[in-house]
């Protein structure tokens, strides 16, 4: 499992994408990303998650903040990003 950091923005997005893809590649059983630590983000977080999903179509995104789930709906990505909120 890869745990997203507390902050995702345009300054750190590429590093997070690289770190995440590297971590996910090490787990061949199931690719899971946790948003449990994520507190500060913008739409850049969605681009990072889309990169993960493009590489791992069966990826699961768990414990996401409700704001991230809402943001995915605003951008029309709710059907492409398998996000579940920590409060759902």
Q: What are the pLDDT digits (tens) for 21-61?
A: 999 999 878 899 999 999 999 999 999 999 999 999 999 99
Tell me the whole-structure pTM to 2 decimals: 0.91
In total, how many domains does the chain have?
A: 1
The burial of 82, by beta-carbon neighbours within 10 Å (0-12 exposed, 13-18 middle, 19 or more buried), is given as middle
List, in order, residues 6 or more apart from 25 with CB less than 8 Å away: none
Alpha carbons 71 and 58: distance in angstroms, whole number: 21
CATH at 73:
3.30.750.24
What domain range includes position 21?
Answer: 2-85
């Amino acid at each position: 499992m890869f745990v997203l950091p507390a902050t995702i923005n345009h300054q750190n997005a590429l590093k997070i994408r690289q770190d995440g893809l590297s971590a996910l590649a090490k787990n061949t059983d199931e690719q899971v990303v946790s948003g449990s630590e994520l507190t500060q983000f913008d739409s850049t977080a969605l681009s990072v998650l889309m990169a993960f999903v493009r590489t791992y179509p069966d990826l699961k995104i768990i414990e996401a903040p409700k704001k991230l789930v809402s943001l995915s709906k605003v951008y029309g990505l709710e059907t492409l990003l398998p996000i579940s909120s920590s409060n759902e």
